[in-house]
Amino acid sequence: LGQIAAMKAILCFALLATATADIYSCGGFVKSSVPIDYSKIQVKTEFSEQIHSKARVVLVPVLFKVKLLTPEGHLKHEEECNPQNGYYMIPVYNKGQYSLKVAAPEGWFFEPETVDFKLDGVNDPCTKNEDINFSLTGFSISGVVNGGSGTGPAGLYLSLKRDGKVVDTAVTTEGGKYSFKAVAEVKDVKSAKFSCSIGATSADGRVVVPCLPSGEYFVKAEFKDGETEFQFSPAVQKLIVKDQATKVRLVLFLFSYHRSLKKGELFQRDFFISYYLPVKVSFSVSGFSARGRVVVGSKGISGADVIVQGKKVAETDSNGYYTLQALTEGPIEITARAPHTKFSTEKSTLVLPKVSVKDVKAEGFDVCGSVEKAASEAIATTLILKRVDTTETVSVRPGADGKFCRMMTPAKYTISPADASSTLTPRSLDIDLTTSPVHDLRFTHFKTDAVVLVTCIGTCETLSISLLHGDNVVDSVRGKDEFVFKSIGPGSYRVRIDAGDRGCWEQRELPLVVEKVRPQPVHFVQSGFATNIKLSHPAQLKWSHSDKKQLRGDVSAPAGLSSICVPVQGRYNVQLISCMNFEPQQFDINVASDQVYESKALDARISGAIKSTDGSGFIVKVKSGAGERDVSVAANGQFFFHEPLTSSGDVIITPQSATHLFDPSSFALRFRGDCAENAVTFAAVKGIFIDGSITPVVSGVKITAKHKQDVSVHFETVSDSKGKYRFYGIFSTLTPNSFRIGPVRRAEDMKIIAELDGYSFAEKPGHVGQLISTKLSKLTVVVSDKETSERLEDVLLSIVGGKDYRSNSMIENSGEINFVGLAPGDYFLRAILQEYKFEPSTTTITVKEGQHEHVELRGKRVAFSVFGRVREMSGTSVVGVVVEALSEHCDQHQSEAVTNQDGTYRIRALKPDCHYRVSLKAGPDGSAAPHCFPAQFDVRMTAEDLKGLDMVAAPYDLSTDLAVEMEFGTMPLPQTYRVSVQREGETISQSVVHAPVTVFYLNNLPRDGKEYSVRVEPDRQPQTFPAKTVFFTTDAPVRVVRIPITSSKRSGEIEISAGSLLALPFFGILALIFFNQVSFSYGSLEVEP
């Protein structure tokens, strides 16, 4: 019974992995699926010089160890496993990235091999009381396939089976050696089917395979050389090798422990080695394939027909490649065919084994079009083709119908009328025949003028209108109400009112099509006048004329600088309609003025709802960076509040009621300065209540009810003089007979905890809230130094036992701790203190009801510390840098410390007789360690502390460098644009970037982990793209912000009363700014458009 109690207690220790005073305990078990004696786990096998003599197996007692390693593989701590059940516990003193690994003899396999985890004090397995277990899954079985001479063949596939199922496979290496990873109860080792290369043919086409074992084989010949691959006949041949079998004995040399191996017994199996009778197999080449390509220059031509001996046999793929099948040796003629394209004809002689097919080249492309004849001309005018890179010229004479086609060598050309006095247009065209033909060129004699009319409200100001053909500006004309573009030929054009005016237009750009008649005038109509408004956030603008009240309208305005249009000049009142409150919310503007009117948002509206069929009187508690407040809920269940834009982080919304529960119980909204309408809907349902009692009666017991899944559901009360309590209501309320807290959904979902010094409480099985009380006793624990008998402080004491009792406690300066009210039973104590080892590691104490037990735990110091300080040359302390001690000769043992506010440090747990290198190391965020003198200390530890390891560091600052990359995509790159960086509304930097630069750099931002914003906007008006703002944090040495820029337009509408004769439609010119979602990674930031 004592052993069973001890094993239960140690299991509790494994689960007791909590952190106290920055000391964390990580524990678990090294388990095995087969019976194993943990005190005898290293297997050593001794063999005599005679291979076939019996082997002697010696079992050497040794303990498993679990190692705690840094990401670099340095040893932080190692702990022996409990020899009875494989339990281990490792203390960890610093947060960070670690790995756990079992140290075991070669040939022992564990799953997992390593466990990587980040100790953050919140979500790691140690802090969350989770076991970190390792399972012994198998051992290695090593041996030799022996042909009688002590060695065997390599490349033989073997399988290891259990109950007919394959457990593992292996391939013999040089000398016939093999090794399996196996689990217990393996039944058989057999050879399996395999495929391998048996060699390459010699100059006479033969290959000889000696010593082929008997059996059934399938032989396949293969040959592939670059683009050539042979086809053989037959494709596969069946081969049967017969022989006379000779039995030999296979000796398996077992180098690791196997539970079925008996002491003094040789592990062996019988196999048959076959001596083959000669067998011949022959293949003949029935044909081969070859790959070729059709190209123009170095680029492949897709979709071309491949012609061999006058017949189409293939078609080129997207890269110009094709494959010819079933070829034979001899001459071959290959060409290609495609519309308006001339190809070379390539002649080759195919000779094995080296087969080469030449590329088929495009030798020419057609250039085609038409020339219009003048009335006085009998034939169309001749054209001149001139090659750009040479002086070569070619005359092209159109046919009677004016059409022409001419095959030309691939290159770039210009084509123009041969007669310089000809009235044909265009006068010259650039054509590109480097990769494809050119069609539909057109030369004509017709030219005409195009008229553009402008209708303004009142007198027109001087405007500039441009004529565009494609993306090229053909001509620009300045004027007021009529513009003429002279002598333009047929084609599709666009006319555009250039930027710079203060008018609003029904359209700023119109199409112009010129055929063989003079086109109708193009007409621009002014719809209003523009004024500039700058908003911090998007809003709806309602405007009205100060005198002419019938003139009013509304328009959507984006964040940043934008223009709005009104029908006439004068004074207007503007009101902002938004889910945000602005300052100012309304203002007056004068359209005749060039002033920019600004307004900034103060807060954002957040709304939600509570759905309920049988309740009212709900309230909503809001907690955010702006503080806590209560929000009332309307009769229809709707609620809303405004969150200041200066707030940051999560906004926690929690509904509350005296009688109802909510789903979800609370809601966290990540606030980024935007409105959130209908952010959450809570469903309210009536709760139930718990009546409880304590037997025997104990009054004044603190009763806590916690939901087993939802940590936000938490109630407290105190038992009355009759030992009764009740959970009811949202707040604790005292009545003569009960206390009320609640409500809850189901009594079974709640965990009831009772607390009172001197007592323990257990819930009666099957009866929620019915508690049984037991009066407890007292235990005093003292920890002291074994050598000096002085009390030890800062000791982590773990105690488990009784009825699932567990505690991690920190023993302070007194070196003593008292446990009052322990239930009777056996308890197991373990003290943990860095640099000390307590023997025994676990102490058992029996506590009896009503008695005071006293126990002293004595520890021996087994490791020591080094002390020092890091300062600058000025004497200023260097704070927060990592100092590391690393021993390359003591199993890469490593320990580290972070300098304090005064620059001092202490590196603990260094082993005596180990040589350490003490130096600064890079920070956990990747920041480089400062340069210092001396750069390192090389020390040899003894059985005492080492002091005075001071270092002088060069001055350095923790900073973040920022790189902003603008991605303009297909839109034209603006000549200039503005980039500004802000923190909490304050501008840190503002610069104008000039084309073609698209990257902006800013160095030495404070690395303070705060949120910054980058804003990109046009430097000149009107806008060529919408302004864009993204956010980033300065928590890394480098931040890269990528901002995709796109152009967009949005139009508004005007409301004008029916009686007004001045009603005019207008379109607002707006730039839309997108608030992008930001994806963070170390050292970079990306923005998703």
Distance CA 157, CA 178 (A): 9
For the residues of 814-838, what is the DSSP string, one character each?
Answer: TSEEEEEEEPSEEEEEEEE-TTEEE
Q: What is the residue-averaged pLDDT of the chain?
A: 78
Q: Is residue 258 over pLDDT 50?
A: no
Q: What is the DSSP letter of 595?
A: P
Distance CA 426, CA 854 (A): 110
Homologous superfamily of the 448-520 domain (CATH) = Immunoglobulins (2.60.40.10)
Class of domain 284-358: mainly beta
Confidence at residue 301, expressed as pLDDT on a 0 to 100 scale: 92
For the segment(s) 605-686, the CATH number from 2.60.40.1120, 3.40.50.10140, 3.30.365.10, 1.10.150.300 is: 2.60.40.1120
Structure tokens at 693: 């009692």
Q: What is the DSSP letter of 158?
A: E
Report long-range pairs for 582-585 (Cβ below 8 Å, ≥24 apart).
582/535, 582/536, 582/539
Q: Is residue 916 over pLDDT 90?
A: yes
Domain 959-1088: assigned CATH number: 2.60.40.10
215-240 pLDDT tens trace = 666 777 766 666 566 666 666 766 67
- First CA to last CA distance, the chain: 68
Structure tokens at 1038: 């480098």
Distance CA 885, CA 949 (A): 12
Q: Is residue 793 over pLDDT 80?
A: yes
8 A C-beta contact, residue 368 and residue 407? no
Confidence at residue 4, expressed as pLDDT on a 0 to 100 scale: 40
711-736 pLDDT tens trace = 767 777 887 766 666 554 443 333 33
Confidence at residue 452, expressed as pLDDT on a 0 to 100 scale: 93
Least reliable range by pLDDT among 371-385, 868-882, 1042-1056: 1042-1056
E strand spans, 346-490: 346-350, 360-371, 383-387, 393-396, 403-408, 412-417, 429-432, 438-443, 448-455, 463-469, 472-479, 482-488
Confidence at residue 726, expressed as pLDDT on a 0 to 100 scale: 57
Domain 777-852: assigned CATH number: 2.60.40.10
Distance CA 432, CA 438 (A): 8
8 phi and psi angles, rounded to 5 deg:
-65, -40
9 phi and psi angles, rounded to 5 deg:
-65, -40
Homologous superfamily of the 864-953 domain (CATH) = Immunoglobulins (2.60.40.10)
Angle formed at CA 756 by CA 754 and CA 760, multiple of 5 degrees: 65
- In the chain, CATH 2.60.40.1120 covers 284-358, 605-686
pLDDT more than 90, % of the chain: 29
Neighbouring C-beta atoms of residue 1016, cutoff 10 Å: 22
Task: Determine if residue 502 is left, alpha or beta; phi over 0 gives left, psi from -120 to 50 gives alpha, anything else beta.
Answer: alpha
Task: Determine if residue 1029 is left, alpha or beta; phi over 0 gives left, psi from -120 to 50 gives alpha, anything else beta.
Answer: beta
Distance CA 936, CA 953 (A): 12
Determine the distance from the C-alpha atom of residue 259 to the mean position of all C-alpha atoms in its chain, rounded to a whole number.
Answer: 46
Burial of 875 (0-12, 13-18, 19+ CB in 10 A): exposed
334-348 pLDDT tens trace = 999 999 999 999 988
At 816, which amino acid appears?
E
8 A C-beta contact, residue 191 and residue 169? no
Task: Determine if residue 737 is left, alpha or beta; phi over 0 gives left, psi from -120 to 50 gives alpha, anything else beta.
Answer: alpha
Whole-model pTM: value is 0.36
355-406 pLDDT tens trace = 788 899 999 999 999 888 877 677 888 999 999 998 889 999 998 888 999 9
Confidence at residue 1062, expressed as pLDDT on a 0 to 100 scale: 34
819-829 pLDDT tens trace = 887 878 888 88
* Residues, the chain: 1089
Domain 528-602: assigned CATH number: 2.60.40
- In the chain, CATH 2.60.40.10 covers 2-132, 448-520, 777-852, 864-953, 959-1088
H or E element, residue 808: strand 805-811
Buried residues in 452-479 as b, exposed as e (16+ CB within 10 A): bebebbeebeebebbbbbeeeeebebee
Distance CA 594, CA 1051 (A): 22
Distance CA 1066, CA 582 (A): 26
Class of domain 2-132: mainly beta
Distance CA 168, CA 178 (A): 12
469-517 pLDDT tens trace = 877 788 999 998 899 998 887 778 899 998 877 888 889 999 998 877 8
Helix (H/G/I), strand (E/B), else coil: 7: helix
Distance CA 782, CA 787 (A): 15
Determine the distance from the C-alpha atom of residue 538 to the mean position of all C-alpha atoms in its chain, rounded to a whole number.
Answer: 32
Q: Please report where in the chains the tokens 């930027």 appear, as a residue.
A: 499
Confidence at residue 603, expressed as pLDDT on a 0 to 100 scale: 94
Distance CA 326, CA 342 (A): 27
| Residue bearing the bigger pLDDT, 941 or 276 | 941
Q: Please report where in the chains the tokens 């923005």 appear, as a residue.
A: 1087
146-182 pLDDT tens trace = 655 567 778 777 888 777 788 788 888 887 888 887 6
945-955 pLDDT tens trace = 999 999 998 87
Q: Please report where in the chains the tokens 């929000």 appear, as a residue.
A: 631
Q: Is residue 753 over pLDDT 90?
A: no
8 A C-beta contact, residue 409 and residue 344? no
Residues 6+ apart with CB under 8 A from 995: 973, 974, 975, 976
The pLDDT-based confidence of 83 (bands split at 50, 70, 90) is low
